[in-house]
Structure 1
Amino acid sequence: MSTVFEDARLDAPAATRRAAVRKSRQGAPLSISGVLYGFLLVGIFSVSWQIARPGDLNFTISDGAFLVVILGLVATSRFNLTPMEGFSPAWIFALILMLGSLFVSTVVNGEVMRWLVVALQYSFAYLLLPMMFASFDQKTLQHCVVFYILGVTFSQAFGNIANIFFDYADTAPIFGNNFITGMGRLGAFSGNANNNCAMAGFALVLLLYAIDRGLMNRLLALMCGVFLLWGIIASASFGGFVICLSAVSLVMIIRSPQWAILALMTLVGLGAAYFASGFPLPAPFEQRVYGALAGGGLKEAGTFAGRMELAKEAWRMSGDTLFLGLGVDSFRVVSIHQAPVHVFPLLLLTEGGLSGLIGFLGLLAILWFRALTNMSVDPRRGIICVGVLLIFTLFTLTVPHMYARLWVAPVFLAILTCTRVEIPRARPRPRDELQASPAPIHKSDDSATWGSPS
């Protein structure tokens, strides 16, 4: 199926191209494609802002923007039903297997209405979202990469600056309990400190892609990198800190070992200068992360011990849930701790049975296969997919259900942007030819650099 904003005018006669230029200069009326493009950018800019929603309803501003885009694509017959290309049937089957297992287990042991809510969330996140992204051409997706980075950076900048002047008591009534936690950890607009660390990690990996492709001005990219690193530190998540920096380091080493060594030396130098100056580390980071890294052991890493107890309980329980699970959201009911296990595969195994876990592992395997296949073709782009997937995969071991769009949007964006064959840029034409036949202006031209002077 054709995608939106494809440059279909490239082979048009010169007279047609000149007419298009004249029309654009006169100010053509806003088209449906322009409206969808605008809503798409709004959605991706705010996709990490989980607190931007009404009450406890898991439907954010970003979800609303994406829903408008999806309905517009369907109405104009531009909705791509094969987001994973040849693997799309396997992708849909794996999703049906996961949700079907949860359905059977919930019918027997739980509340069917709760399954319906969760199934809608997963279907939107793992089916409609990749179909939506796949309906746009690569240039538009590259713009989405930039807007995702800017959206996460704005969240980190706003949250960190607020954390300097305000505390939990000041921000909780306005932004919720986890924008800044009681002990000073930064959740920012994601509404959770651990999730916030992951969002900054995703954005850092995609920032390397944006820099490599010239999608952002270098000064703007540097500012984004500083705020994203600050966000990872201020989140004070031991697991998130190790996961995100490991993924970013891997991407940098594969893409450019020289730059990776230079960046490491720079960070070590800045760190040494910071310690030598006598400035203290942020209290939450020092307590939860630095203590564990400095030899205090994982018991120093916040709630690690409590989460391990939940994981052990789920593993003991899984022997009785291999064929029939407990049903959606039932683990917290039967658990002696009255909380969900923060290991997503274990949660699926206990609530949906072995077939539910196999379904999710199938989805993960398809994503990894596409990333590694692209890695063998184009390592510089493929490693971006690997870096994003590494963060996503390792975070499945630290969180419960993962149907919030903030988890999967950067994954699909990376996969669908970096695995496509890039169209080479056209050669610059001689000056006299340019004067005789001016090229049309394309809204989605990726030769523009975000943040550069016009």
Structure 2
Amino acid sequence: MISSETLKRPRSSLESAEFFCVVLGVLFSSFASLRHPGASFTVSDFFITFGLLFRFIRAIPLYPMQAASSMWWLGIAMLMTGLLIGSIAYGDPVDAVVVLIQYFFSFVALPLAILGRPHKEAVLLAKMGVMSVVISCLVGLGAYSIGYNGGHRRQLALVAGNNRLTGLTDNANAFAAIIVLWFPVLWYLGLVRAYKMITFACFFALTFTGLIFTSSNSNLAGALISGAIYLFLLGKFRIFFIWSAVFAVTAWVGVTFADKILPQKFVERVLSPLQQGNIEGVGTFSDRAELMIEAWRFLPDYYVLGMGAEQYRELSSHDLPVHNLYLLLANEGGLMSLMGLLFLYLAAITYATLAGPDTPHRTAARTTVITATLTFAALMVSFTHIYHRAYLVPWIVSIGLLYSPMRPDWLHKAQARGGT
């Protein structure tokens, strides 16, 4: 049995270094601009890697999601195996290795680095993640306000050539998705009073403004759906009606005074087509629809044995991957890969459902994880492979909020054996 003195012992230097690295990894997670120009390896990945190495020296957290961990590991194994088999049969094994390494880092290394922490540490990581996207919004909006335009720059554009906000992410749609994925975590921090109300209001207003300036119709819809799910699952209908009224008033003001208060790109790309009932004119809807139709035509030939990782663009008449993760995985990795992704979603929801009574703010944490999972799942109808860590960190950080306030079981066992 572990004594209370053991649980309250001072943090060792190795633990401090490990947690510091993970904190920096989460803080830099939305700064995709800060990366090696020739590889998809960011500053955030650098810190996460060292944090994970330091953690492995102490103990390996094989069950970071407790009873749901096996389902998570099974899911990522199925996803990667489907892609590997397809690549061996039809595709290029070299391309497969690159993709599989990325998926391994995102769905195996990240959870091992972030999950299984005391609640206080989990909340700090959540705050660092929200601060990450807040900083990115501030930098991007600051550049936009002085008329800066990054043109065709591939890194640190801040504002794309078409006047859409990219922040420190270098892609407007990706930046919008990252903002939306952090919303449930931000709402959790406000709900449990981890932020003062004025801080929460300022952060939410700033990030929502950043979302508007990205002019991303699909992610704006995702934000509205995410908010509705969160309020519904929370079960506090008075809050639901209050926020519904706030949204209705905000929408009315936005539509009525659009030319004065909304960015011109948002009006042209999102608002005007919706007002005119021209769905095909909303963003790149028609182009993506053509890719999805093509993917459905490929599917009968590849749903059992996929075409292999990164092979869709080689076979497509458009020379592009389909912007729908489910169709892309079903074609490149077969139904095995697609089912693996669904197992990942199920693992997160199962973990939330099984959260014990000692979980701090259990209702809020459950609501946050389920909302984050469903939001992630909904946004993936507009994205290709999602192994970039900026998309995964908010989801995994939200899952970390479910852990009990005490040190995790795997660390207890390590200490009992004489570990640090």
Q: Same fold (TM over 0.5)?
A: yes
Matches within 5 A, 1:399-438: 399-417=383-401, 419-422=402-405
Query: Which one is further off, 406-415 or 214-223?
Result: 214-223
Q: Which segment drifts farther, 314-323 or 261-270?
A: 261-270
Partner in structure 1 of residue 184 of structure 2: 205
**1:154 match:** 135
What is residue 376 of structure 2 aligned with on the other side?
Answer: 392
Q: In 1, distance between residues paired with 2:259 and 2:81?
A: 57
Task: Report whether the alignment pairs 1:139 with 2:120.
Answer: yes
Instruction: Verify the 8 A CA contact 1:292 1:301 in the aligned structure 2.
Output: yes
Corresponding residue number in structure 2 for 1:448: none
Letter in 2 for 1:201: V
Q: Which moved more, 1:393-402 or 1:103-112?
A: 103-112
Residue identity matched to 2:376: F
- By how many angstroms is 1:374 displaced? 4.5
1:60 is aligned to 2:39: no
Contact map agreement 1:198 1:391 (CA 8 A) in 2:
no
Alignment partner of 2:302: what SS?
coil
Residue 238 of structure 1 pairs with residue 238 of structure 2: no
Q: Does the CA contact (< 8 Å) of 1:201 and 1:248 recur in 2?
A: no
> Is the contact between residue 172 and residue 180 of structure 1 (CA under 8 Å) also seen in structure 2?
no
Q: CA deviation at 1:355?
A: 1.6
Instruction: Kindly indicate whether residue 283 of structure 2 is the aligned counterpart of residue 302 of structure 1.
Output: yes
Query: What are the ranges of 5 or more consecutive residues in structure 1 without an aligned counterpart?
Result: 13-19, 21-27, 424-454
1:276/1:114 CA distance change after superposition, 3 Å: closer
Change (3 A) 1:276 1:343: closer
Which position in structure 2 is the counterpart of 1:258? 238
**Counterpart amino acid of residue 228 in structure 2:** S
- Please, which moves more after superposition, 94-103 or 276-285? 276-285
The question of whether the paired residues in 2 share the 8 Å contact of 1:203 and 1:228 is answered with no
Distance change in 2, residues 1:174/1:194 (3 Å): closer
Question: Is the 1:163–1:180 contact (alpha carbons within 8 Å) kept by the matching residues of 2?
Answer: yes
**Partner of 1:319: helix, strand, or coil?**
helix
Aligned counterpart, 2:76: 95
Cα-to-partner distance string for 1:339-397 (whole Å, 9 max, x where unaligned)? 00000111111111122212222222222222344499943321111221122001111
Alpha-carbon spacing, 1:312–1:10, altered in 2? closer, same or farther (3 Å): closer
**Which whole-Å CA distance do the structure 2 matches of 1:322 and 1:200 have between them?**
33
Separation of aligned partners in 1, 2:247 and 2:70: 45
Match of 1:190 in 2: 169
Distance change in 2, residues 1:373/1:10 (3 Å): closer
The residue number in structure 1 matching 2:292 is: 311
Q: Does structure 1 retain, via aligned residues, the 8 Å contact 2:303–2:330?
A: yes
**Partner residue in 1 for 2:345:** 364
CA distance in 2, matches of 1:264, 1:413: 27
State the alpha-carbon separation in 2 of the partners of residues 348 and 31 from structure 1: 43
CA distance in 1 between counterparts of 2:279 and 2:160 reads 21
Shift of 1:278: 6.2
Which of the two has higher C-alpha Rg? Answer: 1
The TM-score normalised by the length of structure 2 is 0.88
Q: For the aligned residues, what is the CA RMSD?
A: 2.6
How far, CA to CA, are the matches of 2:61 and 2:5 in structure 1? 18
Cα 1:215–1:237 shift into 2, 3 Å: same
Paired AA for residue 403 in structure 2: R
Q: Is the 8 A contact 2:67 2:351 kept in 1?
A: no
**Alpha-carbon distance in 2 for matches of 1:348, 1:277:** 39
Distance 1:332 1:193 in 2: 22
> Which amino acid is the alignment partner of residue 106 of structure 2?
A
The answer to whether the 8 Å contact 1:171/1:180 transfers is no
Q: Is the 8 A contact 1:201 1:245 kept in 2?
A: no
TM-score (norm 1): 0.81
1:224 to 175, 178, 203: 203
Deviation, structure 1 residue 86: 2.1
Cα distance between partner residues in 1 of 2:335 and 2:266: 38
Q: Does the alignment pair 1:340 with 2:317?
A: no
| AA matched with 1:393 | A
Alignment size in residue pairs: 400
Are the structure 2 counterparts of residues 83 and 106 from structure 1 closer, same or farther at C-alpha, using a change threshold of 3 Å? same
Q: Aligned pair in 2 of structure 1 residues 412, 8: CA closer, same or farther (>3 Å)?
A: farther
1:287–1:300 Cα contact (<8 Å) kept: no
Residue-by-residue CA offset, 1:300-343 (whole Å, 9 max, x unaligned): 21111000100010111010002221111111011000000000
Q: Report what 1:354 is aligned to.
A: 335
Alignment identity in percent? 22
Q: State the shift of 1:11 in Å.
A: 7.1
Q: CA deviation at 1:267?
A: 4.4
Q: Which moved more, 1:363-372 or 1:45-54?
A: 363-372
Q: Judging changes above 3 Å, is the alpha-carbon distance between structure 1 residues 56 and 375 closer, same or farther for their aligned structure 2 residues?
A: farther
Distance 1:346 1:8 in 2: 53
Corresponding residue for residue 32 of structure 2: 50
Pairwise CA distance, 1:220: 2.0
